[in-house]
Structure formats: C-alpha cells, structure tokens
Amino acid sequence: VIAALTPQDLQGRNILVTAGPTWEPLDPVRLLTNRSSGKMGYALAAAARRRGANVTLVSGPGSIRPPAGVELIPVVTANEMHQAVCQRVDATDIMIMAAAVSDYRPARHEPHKIKKGATDASLALVSNPDILRELGERKKTATCFPLLVGFAAESENHLEEGQRKLTSKNLDLIAINDIGAEDAGFAVDNNRVTLLDRNGAVEELPLLSKEEVAHRILNNILRLT
C-alpha cells in the first residue's frame, strides 16, 4: 500500500549515491576512518528507489543492510570509491555524495603488522582525491553532466562553510549537517540539515528522521532538474 502511494516522480532517473566512511589501511590490522554509519546515504538510496529511480549505492564499509532493489558497489578506500564513481559518471543523471570520505590516508600501507617501537610513533599522511571537487571541475566544461549534490559536515560556521563548499565544488545543491547538534548527525536515526542550492535558495529543515530528510533532499533535487 505504501509503495503504491509513493509518487513515482524519479521513474527512470539513474541516481548514484555514495555512503558510509572509507577505511584507509595502515597495516593489516589498523586503519584510519571516521564515525559515519552510512545511514543518511542508505536512506537516500532507499527513498530514491521507492520513488522509481534506478539506484547505484557506492558504499564504504558498514553494517547496515542495503535497501532492496538497489545496486550495491562495496568499496573500502577513498581511492576505490573515486574509481567506482568515475566509471559511472556517464551512466548517471544525479550524483549524491553522502559519503564521509577520509581526506587523508597513511603514506605507507605496511604489508606486515607494525611492531611496537619500530617507528618514531608519528604517522605520515597523504591527501586522498576529493571526488566531488573533481566532478565539479569536470562539470564546468562538460556539455552534459549529472546534477551534483554534496554534503557538508560542520561543527562551526556551518552556513558559511556550506556556502563555500557549494560554490568552490561547483555543486547544484548541498545538505549541511550541523554536527555540533547532539541529537542529529553521525550514527543516529535523525538529522538536522540546511539545504542550499545553486540559485541561492536556503531551506532550514527541522530535526527529522533520516528517511524524511532523504525525501526532502529528493524534492529539492527534482526542482533543480
């Protein structure tokens, strides 16, 4: 009954969603990661599917069950996510980058477990590719390119930082997470986000379930297509 009542307003659209954290290995037992659970991205994938889209979910490691009817592409590192996304740009109408990609990775991935006392206890890091920024750059010269939607996780100055990312990454829409709010954000079921679009529209959503936030984001996306 619920499926029948959901408008099929994304019918036939090819939507790619990135979700979850990335894992950046240091040695066979240790890694660099973050607190992302993947819930927001999975909620977006599920909502888009329910509204009739063909959904590809490029997901970092996590323990939530992928939504039914969605093509799951599991990845581990930022480099793997980068490759998986880039391969699919041409087949995608809308890209929603909800993943919490690690900005850095250890400079070396040691094949054997690092022994206590074997190093000077400092960790050398190198930058990962910024997948969304790279897509935004490509969009500047492309004749036809997917709609680009980003997220921003901010603990301070969230509106200013979100606006800066929207512009500098050449996005169509950004969903800003105020991770300072205790009841919303990482690894919980609710989220409080502010949506900014390329035309300057600002929509501050109240605290909502991630499912409801997903539908609101999709509504905004539809208005921009």
Kindly identify the residues of this chain, within the stretch 24-43, that bind ligand CTP according to CB under 6 A: none
Residue ranges with strand state E in the chain = 14-19, 24-25, 31-32, 54-59, 71-74, 94-97, 104-106, 125-127, 147-154, 173-178, 190-191, 193-197, 202-204, 208-209
Handedness of CA 88, 94, 96, 102 (dihedral sign): positive
Q: Which of ligand CTP, Ca ion, none lies near 23, with the C-beta cut-off 5 to 8 A by kind?
A: none
Q: What is the phi/psi pair of residue 152, to 5°?
A: -140, 130
157 is annotated as an active-site residue: no
Query: In this chain, which of 103, 110, 203, 212 binds ligand CTP, going by CB under 6 A?
Result: 103
Beta bridge partners of 97: 18, 150
Query: In this chain, which of 21, 60, 67, 150 binds ligand CTP, going by CB under 6 A?
Result: 150
Complex with ligand CTP: residue 103 or 110, whichever CB lies closer: 103
Binding map of Ca ion across residues 82-121, x = CB under 5 A, - = no contact = ---------------------x------------------
Closest approach, Cβ 24 to ligand CTP, in A, equals: 11
Closest approach, Cβ 161 to ligand CTP, in A, equals: 6
Burial 178-217 (b: 16+ CB within 10 A, else e): bbeeeebbbeeebbbbbbbbeeeeeeebeebebbbbbbbb
Query: In this chain, which of 15, 70, 152, 179 binds ligand CTP, going by CB under 6 A?
Result: 152
Which position among 34, 157, 177, 190 bears the catalytic label? 34
Residue numbers of the site for ligand CTP (CB under 6 A)? 18, 78, 97, 99, 101, 103, 128-132, 150-153, 165
